Amino acid sequence: MKIDGYVPPDPAIAQQQGVDFVYEMDWGTINIRSKSLNLRGNPQFAMAFKTHSDWMERRKNLSNKVSDKEAEGRFLGIMYDHGVIAWSTTIKSDGKAIESTRQNFIDLLSSDACSKVALVYFQDASDDANFRPVDKDADMGNSEASFAGKSSGQDAEKNSSAM
From residue 136, how far is each of 5, 133, 157, 162 by CA, in Å? 17, 10, 21, 23
Q: What are 113-133's pLDDT values in tens digits?
A: 998 999 999 999 999 999 998
Parent domain of 82: 23-125
Q: Is residue 11 part of a domain?
A: no
List, for residues 33-80, the tens digit of each pLDDT value: 999 988 677 878 778 778 777 777 777 777 666 667 777 888 899 899
Residue 34 φ then ψ, to 5° = -135, 145
The answer as to whether 64 is a domain residue is yes
Most confident of 46-50, 91-95, 142-146: 91-95
Residue 37 domain-assigned (yes or no): yes
Instruction: Specify if 13 maps to a domain.
Output: no
**What is the pTM for the complete model shown?**
0.71
Number of domains in the chain: 1
pLDDT given for residue 66 in this prediction:
61
Say if 57 falls within a structural domain: yes
- Distance, in Å, from the CA atom of 106 to the CA atom of 120, rounded to the nearest integer, reads 15
Distances, alpha carbon 46 to alpha carbons 49, 113, 126, 147, in Å: 5, 28, 11, 30
Inside any domain, residue 96 = yes
> What pLDDT does residue 134 have?
72
In a domain, 149, yes or no: no
Amino acid at position 14, single letter: A
Residue range 86-103: mean pLDDT, rounded:
96
